[in-house]
Amino acid sequence: MSNRTAAYRALTTHRLFWPVVVLVVMLAANTVYRPGFLSVQMRDGHLYGSLIDILRLSAPLILVALGMTLVIATGGIDLSVGSLCAISGAIACLYISRQPDQNSVGGVLTALALGLGVALVLGAWNGVLVAVIGIQPIIATLILMVAGRGLAQLITEGQILTINSGPYKAIGVGHLLTLPLAIFLALAAALLVAAVTRRTALGLIIESVGGNAQASRLAGIRSGRITFLVYVISAACAAVAGFMMTANVSSADGNAAGLWVELDAILAVVIGGTSLAGGRFSLGGTILGALLIQTLTTTVYAMNISPQTSLLFKAVVVIAVCLIQAPGFRARFTRRRAPATGPAPVSEQPKEQVPA
């Protein structure tokens, strides 16, 4: 019995246990509301269904959250990822719209390279502000969050750029081996980040910088370069996510593309068990958090919850998940019974006889 109790406690105290429980509950609730929610069908050689849609729509958030995980692991934050999504998508769509043949693969690849290149430069800008100049990450990235959104609108001239490019559209809604291509792109990015951070010393170095940057410098780690690097990686992930977002609708809207995705990414990272204070991080937990947030969004739409209350409903669920994950909060509602043990027996010492 004691072994079962210990196993149960180990399971329930795992950082990913409650997010998995909430995800299963939401899937069950959707199945009750719509009996065909879990069904997957094959049409024209492609898989379709609500589960496939959740995976496809969560791909951009997974990409942004992966980069955000590395930034948060160093003790920083990146609020500019939404603007970077808008900028990269706007540059790619603008270049494609000016091509005589929008279906040219070479033209699409050039557009992707331009969008990614600009995003890398802006990510390096964030890295310089934080790692070199020493500005607080929330302030440094807030600058690009505001200015970047304006830059995206300047690129699109305040209009919605519409394109008709098959190769570019495939990034968002194309298929590969019966599954959406976006799923494979997100999976490839996750495997690449995992290989770089878990198969090399980079992951431990990032965690050490987030745990104690000064001690890391004294140990010979160039924490400034690591901080600079993670902001560049975050920008690259945001750029690819921006391509997916604009490819889904074959257009670029500098005002709406990637709007508030930075907040969803931060929530995904926190739900996945990574502390905002920096240090240890979990890529698998981040992916699970992104899937949970997208499932929650799909649930809101599927149950016809009004737009006025959808954000409140989403906030309540996220708060509930974060609370039940907190050990201190669970301890307040868990009765801990101390073993009933009596006082330790006191051995009687023979009394010394006082001589008369």
What single string gives the DSSP state of each residue in 62-93?
Answer: HHHHHHHHHHHHTT---TTHHHHHHHHHHHHH
| Distance in angstroms (rounded) separating the CA atoms of residues 274 and 8 | 23
Give dist(CA 141, CA 228) in Å, integer: 13
pLDDT, residue 279, reads 86
pTM of the entire predicted model: 0.87
Distance CA 306, CA 326 (A): 30
The predicted structure's pLDDT at residue 285: 92
| Amino acid at site 90 | A
Residue keyed to tokens 């997957």 = 40
Enter the tokens of residue 71.
């930034």
- For the chain of 356 residues, list the mean pLDDT of each consecutive stretch of 10: 72 78 89 88 88 94 96 94 96 94 94 96 96 94 94 92 93 91 95 94 92 83 92 96 95 90 92 86 93 89 75 78 72 57 49 48
